[in-house]
């Protein structure tokens, strides 16, 4: 059960990260579609890809520093050109450590990866996002 909770945390982290860096300031506000694919070696099944829609406001894409929830803290945030890398440490019930990267493709798309080690297992997630219009 805890493993599933950690799995659910990762997509939430992705929503928090894009609007938080200098590279993301070029990101257009609006409705975005984000698809993530997770690999969990050793699990009897692999979760299917998940697609969600999220409205990034003008404030979201300019926010700094990187937001985090009460149990996870983002550190080692580095930007180079259109790439942003980070490390995240989570404590409490969903403790673990991870690292990730976002690569922006202009102001209307990004892709990235994140790996998280928690409870003795490694979860790797690939994601891609594109702006699909204005928020409603």
The residue with greater pLDDT, 25 or 97, is 97
Mean pLDDT, the chain, integer:
79
Q: Identify the band that residue 4 occupies on the pLDDT scale cut at 50, 70 and 90.
A: very low
Tens-digit pLDDT profile for residues 96-129: 899 989 899 999 999 999 998 988 888 899 999 9
Range of the domain at 27: 2-133
Residue 56, classified by CB atoms within 10 Å of its CB into exposed (0-12), middle (13-18) or buried (19+), is buried
Kindly give the residue spans of alpha helices, DSSP state H, lying in 17-113: 58-62
Q: Does the predicted TM-score (pTM) go above 0.85?
A: no
Q: How many domains does the chain have?
A: 1
Residues 6+ apart with CB under 8 A from 73: 88, 89, 90
- 5 upstream amide cis, omega within 30 of 0: no
Phi, psi of 57 (to 5 degrees): -85, 170
The burial of 114, by beta-carbon neighbours within 10 Å (0-12 exposed, 13-18 middle, 19 or more buried), is given as: buried
Residue 8 pLDDT greater than 60, yes or no: no
pLDDT of residue 67 exceeding 80, the answer is no
Q: How far apart are CA 79 and CA 75, in angstroms?
A: 12
Backbone dihedral angles phi then psi of residue 62, each to the nearest 5 degrees: -110, -5
Render pLDDT for 41-56 as a digit per residue (tens, 0 to 9).
877 888 899 999 999 8
């Amino acid at each position: 059960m805890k493993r599933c909770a950690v799995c659910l945390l990762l997509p939430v982290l992705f929503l928090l990260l894009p609007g938080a860096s200098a590279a993301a300031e070029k990101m257009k506000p609006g409705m975005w579609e984000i698809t993530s694919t997770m690999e969990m070696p050793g699990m009897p099944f692999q979760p299917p890809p998940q697609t969600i829609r999220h409205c990034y406001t003008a404030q979201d894409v300019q926010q700094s520093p990187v937001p985090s929830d009460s149990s996870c803290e983002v550190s080692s945030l580095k930007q180079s050109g259109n790439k942003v890398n980070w490390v995240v440490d989570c404590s409490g019930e969903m403790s673990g450590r991870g690292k990730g990267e976002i690569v922006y493709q202009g102001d209307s798309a990004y892709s990235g990866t994140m790996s998280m080690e928690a409870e003795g297992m490694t979860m790797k997630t690939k994601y891609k996002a594109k702006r699909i219009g204005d928020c409603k």
